[in-house]
Amino acid sequence: MTAPIAHLSNADRLDRMFIDGEWTLPESLTRTGVVDPSTEESVAEIALGDRADVDTAVAAARRAFAGWAATSPESRAEFLDRIHALILERAELFAQAISQEMGAPIGYARSTQVRLLGGATPPGRVVTHRGTTAILREPIGVCGLITPWNWPLYQITAKVGPALAAGCTVVLKPSELSPLSAFLFAEVVQDAGIPAGVFNLLNGDGPGVGAALSAHPDVDMISLTGSTRAGVLVTQAAAPTVKRVALELGGKSPNVILPDADLARAVAPGVAAAFRNLGQSCSAPTRMIVPRQHLQEVERLVCEAVSGMIVGDPRSEETTHGPLANRAQFERVREMIAVGIAEGARLVCGGPGWPEGLDRGFYVRPTVFSDVQSRMRIAQEEIFGPVLCIIPYDSVDEAVAIANDTVYGLGAHVQGGDLEAARSVAARIRSGQVHINYPAWDPNAPFGGYKRSGNGREYGIEGMEEYLETKSVLGF
C-alpha cells in the first residue's frame, strides 16, 4: 500500500455503512480495494453491502420520511447550510481524498472538484390554484441516489442537496471505485446533526447494491449518473415497481466553431473543455466541428494548447492532468486511440503509449485526431478520456447535421462572432444544454440530456422539481 488514508477522521469506518444515524457493519464480509490510479497500488479497503443492507437502509429512510417531509423549509435550509459550510471547512481533506481515489491533480481537485458545488434552496409549501382546485407539490419519498466515480463529490451534492431540500430521505450509493470522498461527506452530514435515517450511505457495486436499490418496492425514486448501459439496467430493474427514474448518462458533445469565430478565442478553450477532468466528463465537447477552410489553423492552435498540458503526478502543484481514474478506463481509452488510427483518422498530436517519462500508473497522452468522419467509431462512441476529434464541414447546415449525428444529446458548444447566428445554431442542436462562447458555469441552469443521454434534470428549479410529486385537490 502507498501512503495511508489520513483524510478520514475515523479511517476504521471504511468497513462500515452509515445507516439510521450510525456507522454499522454490513451483513456481508465482501471487501474491495481502493486503487490510487497514479501508482496502481491499493490504498484502502472498503466493505461492500448486499441486499440485506439495502433493506436495512431503505427501512431507515422510510421511517424517517414522514418526520423530515413535515419539517419547515427553513429548518431544512439550516441543515443544508451547515452541510455546505462543513464541506468548505474541510475542503482540503476532500481535495486530498479525491486526488488519491480518482487521480485528479490536487490543484484541480481544490479549485473544481470540491468548489463546484451548487446550492439547493428548499421550496416553501408549493401551492397554486386553478379556480377551486389546488395544485400541491410534495416530496416524492425515499430516493435511491447512485453517483459515479468521475465527479465523486460534485455528483453527490447535485443529488443529495435537492432531494433533502425537497423533503425526501435518501440512500446514497457512491461508486465503489472512488468512495473516500463519500465517507467524508457522510461524516459532514452526521456532524451537521441531520435526523437519523434521513441520509444513509451504502457502499456496493452496481450488480449488487445498485440493482437491489433500483428494484426495491419501498424506494420511490432512483437518480443515477453513469453510463447509458447502466441507465438501461437501472430502468429495467425499476420498471416492475413503476418508480420515478432520473438518468444523467453518456454524451458525445459537439463544439461547433462557426466561420466567423475568432479562432484564437475559440480553439484553446475548446481543447481545455474537452480535456477537463482528463476528458472524464459526460458533457465534454470532444467533437470539434470546424470550417474546412480553417482546418490547418485549428490544428495548429489545438496542438499548441495540448503542448501546454503537464501530465504527471496528481500530487504535484504543477500537474494539469493526472492519470485516468481506473484500469478499465485506461484500457478503454488506449483501445479507442488504436481504433482511431486503424479507422484512418489523422493523428495530429498525442497517440498510443504513456506520456514521456511515465511507465506506471493509468496515464495516457492527450490525443487529437483530425479529418475525422462522423461515421467513425471515435466520433460516435463515448471514449471518456483525453481524445479530441476534429471534424471539418463545408456549410453551417452540414455542421448542424454533424452535431446532431449522435445517439447522445447532453451538452453542446457553439462559437461565433455573430451572436444571433450562434443562437440560431444553438436552437437547432438537439441537446439538453448548449454553451455559447464559453460562458461561466451557472448552477441555476438545468442540466440533463436528450436521446440516450438520459431524462430528468439536475440543478435549477427543474432539478428540484425532480424530487417533488404533484397532487391536485379539487374543491379546495
pLDDT tier at 6, thresholds 50, 70, 90: very low
Task: Output the nine-digit C-alpha cell for 312.
Answer: 504527471
Residue 4 resides in a domain:
no
pLDDT at 355: 96
Residues 37 and 120 in one domain: yes
| CA gap 405, 408 in Å, rounded | 9
| CA gap 144, 234 in Å, rounded | 11
Residues 233 and 275 in one domain: no
Given a cut of 60, whether residue 4 has pLDDT beyond it is no
| CA gap 60, 216 in Å, rounded | 13
pLDDT tier at 1, thresholds 50, 70, 90: very low
What is residue 433's three-state secondary structure?
strand
Residues 24 and 77 in one domain: yes
Residue 319 CB contacts under 8 Å (≥ 6 apart), including other chains: 105, 106, 107, 310, 311, 312, 313
Residue 112 resides in a domain:
yes
Read off the pLDDT of residues 280-339 as tens digits, 9 standing for 90 and up.
999 999 999 999 999 999 999 999 999 999 999 999 999 999 999 999 999 999 999 999
Read off the pLDDT of residues 102-160 as tens digits, 9 standing for 90 and up.
999 999 999 999 976 655 666 655 789 999 999 999 999 999 999 999 999 999 999 99
pLDDT at 119: 54
Task: Output the nine-digit C-alpha cell for 376.
Answer: 467513425
| CA gap 297, 264 in Å, rounded | 10
For cell 422539481, name the residue: 465
CA-CA distances (angstroms) from residue 429 to 206, 258, 371, 396, 459? Answer: 33, 14, 22, 12, 21
With beta carbons less than 8 A apart as the criterion, state whether 270 and 413 touch.
yes
Residues 387 and 463 in one domain: no
Task: Identify the domain containing residue 238 by its residue range.
Answer: 11-249+453-473
Given a cut of 90, whether residue 409 has pLDDT beyond it is yes
pLDDT tier at 35, thresholds 50, 70, 90: very high
For cell 440493482, name the residue: 211
pLDDT tier at 3, thresholds 50, 70, 90: very low
How deeply is 296 buried, as exposed, middle or buried, from its count of CB atoms within 10 A (0-12, 13-18, 19+)?
exposed
Residues 239 and 259 in one domain: no
Residues 45 and 171 in one domain: yes
> What is the CATH classification number for the domain harbouring 391?
3.40.309.10
| CA gap 447, 459 in Å, rounded | 6
Residue 85 CB contacts under 8 Å (≥ 6 apart), including other chains: none
Residues 209 and 85 in one domain: yes
Catalytic residue list: 248
Residue 262 resides in a domain:
yes
Read off the pLDDT of residues 181-232 as tens digits, 9 standing for 90 and up.
999 999 999 999 999 999 999 999 999 999 999 999 999 999 999 999 999 9
Given a cut of 90, whether residue 12 has pLDDT beyond it is no
The total of structural domains in the chain comes to 2
Q: Which helix (H) or strand (E) holds 257?
A: strand 254-257
| CA gap 274, 385 in Å, rounded | 9
> What is the CATH classification number for the domain harbouring 32?
3.40.605.10
Residue 20 resides in a domain:
yes
- In 3D space, the residue among 214, 95, 224 whose CA is nearest the CA of residue 148 turns out to be 224
Q: Average pLDDT, stretch 410-417?
A: 98
Say which amino acid occupies 186.
A
Residue 175 resides in a domain:
yes
**Strand ranges across the sheet with 169-173:** 22-24, 17-19, 199-201, 169-173, 142-146, 221-225, 244-248, 454-455
Residue 462 resides in a domain:
yes
CA 303 to chain centroid, in Å, comes to: 27
DSSP string, 103-116: ---HHHIIIIIIT-
Read off the pLDDT of residues 81-96 as tens digits, 9 standing for 90 and up.
999 999 999 999 999 9
Residues 70 and 200 in one domain: yes
pLDDT at 90: 96
Q: State the pTM of this model.
A: 0.95
- In 3D space, the residue among 64, 19, 27 whose CA is nearest the CA of residue 47 turns out to be 27
Give the CA dihedral 256, 262, 265, 269, nearest 10 degrees: 10
Given a cut of 90, whether residue 465 has pLDDT beyond it is yes
pLDDT at 124: 53
Residues 342 and 244 in one domain: no
pLDDT at 28: 81
Given a cut of 70, whether residue 175 has pLDDT beyond it is yes
Residues 420 and 461 in one domain: no
Say which amino acid occupies 104.
A
Residues 27 and 129 in one domain: yes
What is residue 76's three-state secondary structure?
helix
Residue 448 resides in a domain:
no
For the chain, what is the mean pLDDT?
94
pLDDT at 13: 73
Read off the pLDDT of residues 424-437 as tens digits, 9 standing for 90 and up.
999 999 999 999 99
Angle at 418 between CA 417 and CA 422, to 5 degrees: 95
Residue 5 resides in a domain:
no
Residues 271 and 358 in one domain: yes
| CA gap 386, 350 in Å, rounded | 10
Task: Output the nine-digit C-alpha cell for 450.
Answer: 436528450
Q: Average pLDDT, stretch 371-378?
A: 98
| CA gap 320, 469 in Å, rounded | 43
Q: Average pLDDT, stretch 358-383?
A: 97
pLDDT tier at 382, thresholds 50, 70, 90: very high
- Report the percentage of the chain scoring pLDDT > 70: 95
With beta carbons less than 8 A apart as the criterion, state whether 392 and 436 touch.
no
